[in-house]
Chains A and B, each alone.
Chain A
């Protein structure tokens, strides 16, 4: 039995070996030679090859419909992928341009923010505001201020007598006379409150510095934006505006540069801008600050920034002595004692007095 089994097994093994050799030779194109070499296995081999053919036949392939359906599905997928690729190719340049635009915008913004690139529109806006304030306030209220236009410094300033100015000075009958005004000073009010008419240029174009010691008085109305040495201070109230807006500003003695000051009321605005210091509107009491003497107080130091009695505003401005203090308290922008010049101040202390251009220094203590 075992021998029979071994015989069968060995017979199958021999068949497998010959059949494998046939397959190998058939791939090389000469399978028949193997069958001829083993005639005893020829029938078995041909039977197995018939099984091979049967396998090919009985293995059902797809029908035409099944093939067409699958082919359609493949083409749909192919077209979808090709369409998507085309879309991506078309979208790529647009996307790159978009990214480039964003990068350019960020770069420019960074350059402006860091100051690497100047931003003239902003500076011009600030300076033009100052020009409007000081220039517009002068002609109607205090006289004629005309700019020749030939030079930013060649400005004809004509200041007429101003009754209000007189009232201001009447408040302090013991006030010391103002420091002498040089020819360069365009505004030279005397002790009587009369305002001297000055016509002519102020600083030469070459030196736009405000020199308090020499009395060189920059003209507020002659604001040349971007030029150093112009210290317009503020111009008080614009014409036609009520309320006291002394503001502040101006250069303190010994300082040069542009100090436009704050607190002035720009033309067209009717609000009270108390400036720095002083008693804010509606507050009573002593608020010396920079301001002068509040109304109703008999202090000795009206300064330039105090409110004159009888004027309906509570904006003393700055400068001047606080009540109860004597001595020299020049305040902001005023001329300290011993200096012989009018420092351009921010507040001329005159309620509603539109001083053209330079405002007298405030805080000059008349009691000194």
Chain B
């Protein structure tokens, strides 16, 4: 089960998926907002401990999202780390409105990736889905590529819900606020995306 967004309680392990498996039950919305507002104030003051905590909580998700989008670990690392640099530079002007900080970071990353795509489109150097084959290993990459391709084949809303819910680890309420949909709609999109993914993967597994 995908846990809720918890910036303070998450494991800082860098191993894949481990941080989401240890998620504690979500705080109530008012409590979460209150705690996160205090964190934003600390972040604006440049509290290193707070930024370290944010980094270890969010970086694996940001990396994973970037990796799905870019399919290159080096670029994913570059983009995910750049997110924190941009966040540090822009935290003074950031106004907390109750939406998770991770949603803000996700928006930063989304824009960075879009910029990267535009730059690469000009250079036309993208080599397709096997960009990372050498450094990541063919076996592991094949499974990832299947999953990546399945996710990429989803309709836009479903893909976004999968990314936000599973890769970014956001709660349905946060995803609904980001996407401008009701929570029920988010649950429905999530369920439909999973059904379509299973269908896509089963079609690929068929000889």
* Chain A partners chain B: yes
CB-based contact A69/B81 at 8 Å: yes
Any B CB within 8 A of the CB of A132: no
B63 to chain A: which residues have CB within 8 Å? 61-62, 66-67, 70
A45 CB → nearest B CB, Å: 9
Please give the residue numbers on chain B whose beta carbons come within 8 Å of chain A beta carbons, in ascending order: 1-2, 4, 14-21, 25-26, 46, 48, 51-52, 55-56, 59-60, 63-64, 67-68, 73, 76-77, 80-81, 84-85, 88-89, 136, 140, 143-144, 147, 162, 166-167, 171-172, 183-184, 187-188, 190-192, 194-195, 197-198, 201
Contacting A20 at CB < 8 Å: which of B88, B167, B184? B184
Please give the residue numbers on chain A whose beta carbons come within 8 Å of chain B beta carbons, in ascending order: 12, 15-17, 19-24, 26-27, 29, 31, 47-49, 51-52, 54-64, 66-67, 69-71, 73-75, 77-78, 81-82, 85
CB-based contact B1/A59 at 8 Å: no
B77 to chain A: which residues have CB within 8 Å? 62, 66, 69-70
A44 CB → nearest B CB, Å: 9
CB-based contact A52/B195 at 8 Å: no
- Chain A residue at minimum C-beta to C-beta distance from B185: A20
A57 to chain B: which residues have CB within 8 Å? 16-17
A48 to chain B: which residues have CB within 8 Å? 191, 194-195, 198
A52 to chain B: which residues have CB within 8 Å? 1-2, 166, 194
The 5 A-B residue pairs with the shortest CB-CB distance in the complex, in nearest-first order: A70-B81, A19-B191, A61-B16, A56-B17, A20-B187
Q: How far is the CA of A347 from the CA of B183 in the complex (A)?
A: 109
> With A23-B190, A63-B14, A69-B81 given, is the CB distance from A54 to B147 under 8 Å?
yes
- Chain A residue at minimum C-beta to C-beta distance from B65: A59
> With A23-B172, A23-B190, A70-B59 given, is the CB distance from A60 to B198 under 8 Å?
no
Interface CB pairs A-B, < 8 A, 27: A12-B195, A16-B192, A19-B190, A20-B188, A24-B184, A27-B171, A48-B194, A48-B198, A52-B1, A52-B194, A56-B20, A57-B17, A59-B147, A60-B16, A60-B140, A61-B19, A62-B60, A66-B14, A67-B60, A67-B63, A70-B77, A70-B81, A71-B56, A74-B85, A77-B85, A78-B51, A81-B89
